Structure 1
Amino acid sequence: MRLPFHDRRSFILATGVTGLGLALGSGPALAAQGLPPTESMRGGSNNYRPNAPLVDRLGSGFVMSGTVRRAGDGAPLEGVRIQIWAATTLGGEREPRNHGSVLTRADGSFRLEMEQIVPNFGQPHAHLAYDDGAFETVFLRPVMPSASDTSLSADFVLQPV
């Protein structure tokens, strides 16, 4: 009886073909799931103000930015209202000068320049919210690695209602 000859090259080729088959088999299942929605963060709604005014800026020295996309297909969402607030050098989170809303651009991005964020309850952080009704409400509370950081980014993936 003669046994088949297997060398390193045939082994690598066989495992590569098997791996490709597995990857192609799972591809459509993963694509069907799509991009999952962002979950609200605990403590994100603290000091929220419904309908905070649209603003061009809330000061200077710190940039809050991010993107907003639709759950499932990940399409960028234009004209979505995002509220941003934080404790800054102007005062705490309840300070009216630290609250404002911005609209997303065609590519789903948003940006707001504001005063430097300062630690509140030991952590430098911002609050961001979406709550306009076309999508499920999401509150975010990203924490900065350092109080000396001059920017912070937060992304939303919104689930239609």
Structure 2
Amino acid sequence: MTGTVRRAGDGAPLPGVRIQIWAHTTEGHERDPHSHGATLTDVNGVFRMEMPQIIPAFGQAHGHLAYDAMHDNNGFETVFLRPVMRSASDTRLSADFVLRRA
């Protein structure tokens, strides 16, 4: 999974933002250790997390991503995303966040 995190208004990249990621994968359900985790954005606001192949759950292959305001003091609103893969055979999933101040 990859993506970017930017600030609403000016589109500036946000470094050091914690993004949580979870999905049903070939190695287990969302709560299983290999199927979830968290990562920080780099200086360009880009995040990346390697994980097992995402598989369909509830009819579609999809991931869950979140920026949870409770885990930092930046003052942005919490955001949850559920991007859907075009095909269950896709091996990449991308999602972009735009965070606004609470």
| CA-to-aligned-CA distance 1:79-133 (integer Å, 9 cap, x gap) | 0000000000111122233110000000000011110000001100000000134
Instruction: Find the partner of 1:105 among 35, 42, 65.
Output: 42
Alignment-derived partner of residue 16 in structure 2: 79
**Larger radius of gyration, structure 1 or 2?**
1
The corresponding residue for 1:131 is: 68
1:159 matches 2:95: no
Return the alpha-carbon distance in structure 2 between the equivalents of residues 102 and 93 of structure 1.
16
Larger RCO (CA within 8 A; separation ≥ 6): 2
State the distance in 1 between where 2:31 and 2:51 align: 15
Question: Normalized per residue, which structure has more helix?
Answer: 1
Give the structure 2 partner of residue 146 of structure 1.
87
Give me the CA root mean square deviation.
Answer: 0.9
TM-score under structure 2 normalisation? 0.92
For these two proteins, the number of residue pairs brought into alignment is 98
Task: Choose from 87, 112, 120 the match for 2:57.
Answer: 120
Q: Which whole-Å deviations, capped at 9, do the CAs of 1:31-73 have from their partners, x for residues lacking one? A: xxxxxxxxxxxxxxxxxxxxxxxxxxxxxxxxx0000000001
Unaligned regions of 5+ residues in structure 1, if any?
1-63
Matches of 1:157 and 1:123, distance apart in 2: 24
Runs of 4+ with deviation above 2 angstroms: none
Identity over the aligned pairs, expressed in percent?
A: 71
User: Is 1:89–2:1 an aligned residue pair?
Assistant: no
**Higher share in strand:** 2
Give the gaps of 5 or more residues in structure 2. none
Give the letter for the 2:86 counterpart: P
